[in-house]
Structure formats: C-alpha cells, structure tokens
Amino acid sequence: MKNLVSILTLFVICLMPQSLIGSQVEDGYEEIDSPKRYFPFSGRPKKNTPAGQLDYAHMLADKKKVGKAIRQYRALVLRWPALTEAGIAQYELAKLLEKKKRYHQATEAYEYLLEHYAGMIPYNEVLNRLFAMGEKLAQERKGTFLIFKGISAPERAIPIFELIVRYAPEWEQSAEIQYRIGRIQQKNHEYELAIDAYTDVQFRHPSSTWTEDASMYKAECLYLLSEESPQNQDKAEDVWVELTLFLTNYPDSGYQELAYKYKEKIRKRRAKLAYEKAYFYDTIQSRPEAALRAYTSFVEEFPHSEWTDVAQLRIHALSDSVKGSHSKQD
C-alpha cells in the first residue's frame, strides 16, 4: 500500500508545473519557469546543465539513437526554455522528427521554433527546410504498398506552406508558395480558398513572376464557381471584371487565348441573363416601363447578341405602348 502511495505521489509531482515545484540555480544557470509540464514518459534531462544536456542529446543523435535524442532535445527545451541551447535543441528536434517522417509533429516543432527562437536560428535555412519538406509531401504518394502506387495527396503540404507565408510573408519564395497553395486548393475544387490564396499573391507580390499565373487562375476559379450557379448574375459579373483586368494587365500573356475563351462564354451568359430579366418584366410581371428600360439597357450593352433583334422589336412595341399610356393619362 505504501509503495502504491509513493508511486501516485511521484506521478502527481511529475505532472506539476515547474513553477509549483520551485526554481533552482544549478552551476550558475537560474531555472526559468516553463509553461509546459514534464510527463513521466516524455523524458527528463540527463544532465544538470543546458550545455551538458545539449552535448548529450547530440551524442545520442550521432549514434543514431533517434528516439532517445528526440526525448532529450525536448527535455532540454522544457527545462531551460529561454536559453540559446533551447533554440538549438528545438531545431535539432524538428529536423529529427522530419527525418523520421513524422511530418505533422515536425511542422509543429518548426512552428514552435519560429515563434520562440527566431533570433537564435539560421532563419533562411529553416525556411528552405520547410519548403523542401512541403515539396516532398506535395509530390509524395501516400498508401503505397507493393504494386499499389498509392494516391496523390498534395494538400498535406498546405499546413507547411501556410506556416512559411505566415512567418515569412516577404521571403523571396513566399509568392510562389502562396501560388502553390492556391493551385492545390483549386485542384481539390476548393475554389473560394484558392481565390483567397491567389488574391494574396496579387496584393502582397504585385511584381512577382507568379502574379500573372495567380491572376489567371483566380479568374478561372471565379468562372468555375459561376458555372455552379449559372443564374447568378453577380458571379458572372465578377468573372467578367477579373478577366477584363487580366487582359488589361497582361496583354501579351500566354494565357490570352484561354482568357478570351472564358470571357466569350461569360459574355453570352451575361447577355442571356440580361435578356431574361427584361423578358421577365415584359411577360411575367407585365411592367412595360421596367421592361422597356431593361431591353434598352440590354441592347446598348449587347448589340450583337443572339437576342438583340428580338429585344429591339420589343423596344419599338413597348415604346408605342408606353407613349399611348402616357397620352391617355394626359
């Protein structure tokens, strides 16, 4: 019974925050309270100083004892979170998790590194490692087994890419990364998310070589969304405006043929919607003045559509009708 009580007491102490256990000074290092807790199986520092602990963790990593090295790097960060050695340990921890292909944990470790130790690490090197890890995940197929080639799942790279652009929005490769996020989302039919990503490229990186691509694919996403709601005039107008801006900004673009193709389809849809609006006032609601205004506006904007001749006939008929009605009132 005493042994059981002792074990439970030790377990409770392990779960207590260091601030409750008390601070201490060891070999000139003052203990810094950590917001994290030690857990019985997470590993405690094997050495009494941060430098000694870092050397010990390095030694484990050099001997390919990766699991133990991960625990000891983590223990250092938990024990001495505000010291330079903690930043080094956190970076080594992230790299080992990446090496073990524990990509989700590695991403979280890199995020913690960027948030807490940005001034203690080779920043560009970390960003390049993250980009390479994202590239690998974007191209790697999951579920491979024997002759089964698995399936492509580039969306797994999005949290890594988003981490980069969140902490380094002005980095030299951030425009490409944001564009890549948009392409992945677009291919997954998440058009609104893709539009947000492409818009970010347009406004954050207007001079980037990736902005032209982002602008075209943003217009394409808007077009695809409008295809899902063919009666929505606002969505058709959004596509028209975006394509017009694209062709104005990039008159020599290699996407020009595709842009004009989408624009012609949208022009026909806009014309059809405008004519149907006038027709609705004319035949359904029997509002001749509203119909006359709508038909007139339609003909002015779409003088060469397949409905223009019919609309002009209705304009003449309604003009006479409206004039006659006004004469009677007079």
pTM for this model (two decimals): 0.77
- Report whether pLDDT(182) > 80: yes
User: Is the pLDDT higher at 71 or at 34?
Assistant: 71
d(CA 268, CA 280): 18
pLDDT digits (tens, 9 = 90+) for 190-236: 999 999 999 999 999 999 999 999 999 999 999 999 999 999 999 99
Q: 168 and 130 in contact (C-beta within 8 Å)?
A: no
Position 29 scores a pLDDT of 38
Nearest-10 crossing angle of helices 256-279, 211-228: 30
Confidence of residue 135 (pLDDT cuts 50, 70, 90): very high
Instruction: List for the chain the helix, strand, coil content (%; round to 5).
Output: 70, 5, 25
- Report whether pLDDT(167) > 90: yes
Confidence of residue 320 (pLDDT cuts 50, 70, 90): confident
Domain boundaries, the chain: 38-102, 258-325
- Report whether pLDDT(150) > 70: no
Contacts (Cβ under 8 Å, ≥6 apart) of 300: none
Beta bridge partners of 142: 151
The helix/strand/coil state of 145 is: strand
How many C-beta neighbours within 10 Å does residue 187 have?
12
Specify the DSSP element, H or E, that contains 122: none
Q: Any idea of the CA torsion for 24, 27, 33, 35, to the nearest 10 degrees?
A: -130
Position 41 scores a pLDDT of 47
What's the token pair of residue 216?
């075209």
- Report whether pLDDT(22) > 80: no
Specify the DSSP element, H or E, that contains 28: none
Torsion over CA: 278, 280, 283, 285 (sign): negative
